[in-house]
Amino acid sequence: MGNAGRRYGTHRVIEPAGALPQAAWKVNNTLPIDPTEMLIEVEMLNIDAASFTQMKEASGGDPEGIARIIMDTVETRGKQHNPVTGSGGMLVGTVAMKGSEYDGPIDATVGDRIATLVSLSLTPLKIRQIRKVFIDRDQVEIEGHAILFSSGIGERLPDDFSRDAALAALDVAGAPAQVYRLVRPGMDIGIIGTGKSGLLCAAAARKVLGKSGRVFGVVHQQSIIDDVSRYGYFDELILADATSPVDVFEKIDALTGGRLLDVTINTTNVKSTEMSTVLSTRDEGVAYFFNMATSFTAAALGAEGAGKDVTLLIGNGYAPGHARATLDLIRSDDKLMSLFGAKYSNG
């Protein structure tokens, strides 16, 4: 493999030959590091929501079962790349070493604590011990090391966030960043799923819309409606199962007088929600999937079969400035600061 590919970690790929690390089935997670790499002593993994949900279901909600699944995955693949969902997450740790030829974009020196902003599905990882699984927040405290390539991005941990709150926020920083690009004053915006990323998307949409336009939220439990309504981001909260597309569509259709939504953002963590997103979006509108359980085939062929002229966007976890924009969004809202501070209080 040529030297040019080392920046992207091609030298770490074990199989299949010629793949990039994310697409690879297995990568080399051993030491020493290559001169082009950064070594991180890892403290915490933030598993993406779709992957964590799958592991909870597979283990019956047992933290020790989840730990075993993670250990098996990392020992088999050299990275936390869920073989069922195909997704990973991100991590927090301390910079332990920088190779002599490392020229990555992270402004950090040895001893700094950073959050990586690239997926665990491409990051070589070695776990020595899993210390604790936080079942209610998709995080796993570990002892181990990770290797970041020169192409990898990350962020030094801010002083005004706890470690785990910063990790949780930065894990989904790509979602509100894209909302700022997609939403314009006067639009009707729909958010399917109102967990961590859904709330941040709603807050970003509300910030752009001001008093114009409307924000609709689709949730699957009444208790969630009672909880998220206090944030004041949503004009309407709709109780519906996102895996039942006709039900979601009919409720959105009624509330918008048949106009439907200009932008529909899917932040759920389950399969089979593609067509709720597509059907709820007006022709020439945008359906944005920030959901690692999304099937491209189901979304594309489903839209075609329904005769929907909708732009389909797959969520990219990276956008220039996305980390700072998301942290600033939380800083600007006392309710969000309280939420992240209370739920992610360790570290």
Please check the confidence at residue 120 and state whether its pLDDT lies above 50.
Answer: yes
Of residues 159, 71, 149, 77, the one with CA closest to residue 116? 149
CA gap 50, 270 in Å, rounded? 6
| Helix (DSSP H) and strand (DSSP E) numbers for the chain | 11, 14
Q: DSSP string spanning 224-265? A: HHHHHGGG---SEEEE--TT-HHHHHHHHHHHTTT--EEEEE
- Residue 44, number of CB atoms within 10 A of its CB: 23
Whether cis (ω within 30° of 0) applies to the bond prior to 16 is: yes
Is residue 132 within 8 Å of 139, Cβ to Cβ? no
Please check the confidence at residue 1 and state whether its pLDDT lies above 70.
Answer: no
What number is the average pLDDT over the span 313-333?
A: 93
52-56, 255-259, 289-293: which range is least confident on average? 289-293
CATH of 174-314, one of 3.40.50.1100, 1.10.630.10, 3.40.50.720, 3.60.110.10: 3.40.50.720
What number is the average pLDDT over the span 99-117?
A: 95
- Domain locations along the chain: 3-171, 174-314
Span 68-95, pLDDT tens digits: 999 999 999 999 999 999 999 999 999 9
Q: What share of the chain is helix, strand, coil (3-state, %, to 5)?
A: 35, 25, 40
Integer distance in angstroms from the first to the last C-alpha of the chain?
40
pLDDT band at 205 (very low <50, low <70, confident <90, very high): very high
Q: Is 138 helix (H, G, I), strand (E, B) or coil?
A: coil
Q: Which residues contact 116 (CB under 8 A, 6 or more apart)?
A: 40, 90, 91, 92, 93, 123, 146, 148, 152, 153, 154
Q: Which residues contact 280 (CB under 8 A, 6 or more apart)?
A: 190, 192, 248, 249, 252, 260, 261, 264
**Domain 3-171 matches domain 174-314 at the CATH topology level:** no
* Residue 127: φ, ψ to 5°: -105, 120
What share of the chain has pLDDT > 70, as a percent?
A: 99
What number is the average pLDDT over the span 132-153?
A: 96
CA gap 78, 11 in Å, rounded? 13
Q: Which residues contact 197 (CB under 8 A, 6 or more apart)?
A: 49, 172, 175, 176, 267, 290
CATH of 3-171, one of 3.40.50, 3.90.180, 3.30.460, 3.30.70: 3.90.180
| Residue 53: C-alpha distances to residues 59, 223, 291, 314 (Å) | 10, 19, 12, 20
Q: Work out whether strand 38-47 and strand 139-148 pair parallel, antiparallel, or are unpaired.
A: antiparallel
- Residue 223, number of CB atoms within 10 A of its CB: 8
Span 161-190, pLDDT tens digits: 999 999 999 989 999 999 999 999 999 999
